[in-house]
Amino acid sequence: MQKPTAKPYVFALLMLSGLIGLLAACQRADRDRVPLARVGNHYLYLDEVKHVIPEGALASDSAFAIRSFVNNWIRQQVMLKHAEENLRDRKPAFEQQLRDYYNALLIYTFEEEYVRQNIDTVVTKEQIRTYYQENIDDFVLKENIVKVLYVRLFRNDAALAQIRRLMQSDRRADRMRLAELCRQHAVNYFLDDEVWLFFNDLLKEIPIVTYNQEAYLNHNRFVEIQDSSFHYLIRFVDFRITDNHSPVSLEEDRIRSTIINKRKAETIRRMSEELYERAANKNLFETYF
């Protein structure tokens, strides 16, 4: 029969200096718990530090983890004791702040749970378009955006000429063939020209050098660039310049979030009014002014 093995924290405690003295302190602390440290009238017990010992840790590692935790606890308690002694006159204000924080946290948690159970989080495309049209002046571009196809190949790749030709075609069959060739040959590529991208994000992928983005976009439709390792092909399908209205497709997530947040606020407002009216009808409160 195998002998039962002790847990790592037991070995760790046996390695800690002064353990016997700490165990003796049980008479002055909680008799049913093993104390590890004391600051004033505050004790730190073994069951409060077990969580700091990694599962399967060596005894030496466990001892180090316990010692570090105990030392940090002592430092914190000494600091708290010093703070309490020096800020005794401000204790009523702290107690009020704690009550305010508790009340705010309790109400916030209740509201979040109520909203979770009662709000409709489905936002349709039509609702997004309606919100966009009614608030169009809120959607102004702060960056230039583009619709593009781009492909990055190793220099002198055998498929370069064919990919160049296919990128300039809008035929469905050519797009399918382009995608197939990119999967086989490209280091990186993007072929969804229905999606708007920030031009600055594109510049992180492709070494385009320009000091006037608007002029560059106005004068380039198909661009090829080479560096020491790669050949880049870029076709600009569409673009919009800073300070124009942002397209609704680029703002969908923002609008959806805004609509849901408005629903949350309205749900909380209605719930608050209902609770107030219910309390008034039951004479649960009265005013004296």
- 196 pLDDT more than 80: yes
Percent of the chain with pLDDT over 90: 67
**Which amino acid belongs to residue 64?**
F
- 224 pLDDT more than 50: yes
pTM, to two decimals: 0.67
Q: What are phi and psi of 237, to 5 degrees?
A: -90, -35
Dig out the tokens for 194 from the structure.
Answer: 């229905």
Q: Which residues contact 159 (CB under 8 A, 6 or more apart)?
A: 153, 181, 184, 185
- End-to-end, the C-alpha distance of the chain in Å comes to 81
CA dist 261 and 112 (Å) reads: 12
Q: What is the pLDDT of residues 52-98, one digit of tens each?
A: 777 766 666 677 888 888 899 999 999 998 888 888 888 888 889 99
The average confidence (pLDDT) of the chain is 87
Model confidence band, residue 20 (pLDDT cutoffs 50, 70, 90): very low
Task: Write down the pLDDT at residue 17.
Answer: 41
Averaged pLDDT, 19-42: 65
Averaged pLDDT, 101-108: 95
Model confidence band, residue 197 (pLDDT cutoffs 50, 70, 90): very high
Q: What is the CATH topology of the domain spanning 141-240?
A: Chitinase A; domain 3 (3.10.50)
Task: Write down the pLDDT at residue 51.
Answer: 78
Model confidence band, residue 30 (pLDDT cutoffs 50, 70, 90): low
Q: What is the pLDDT of residues 139-157, one digit of tens each?
A: 999 999 999 999 999 998 9
Task: Write down the pLDDT at residue 57.
Answer: 61
Task: Write down the pLDDT at residue 59.
Answer: 64
pLDDT: which is higher, 56 or 218? 218
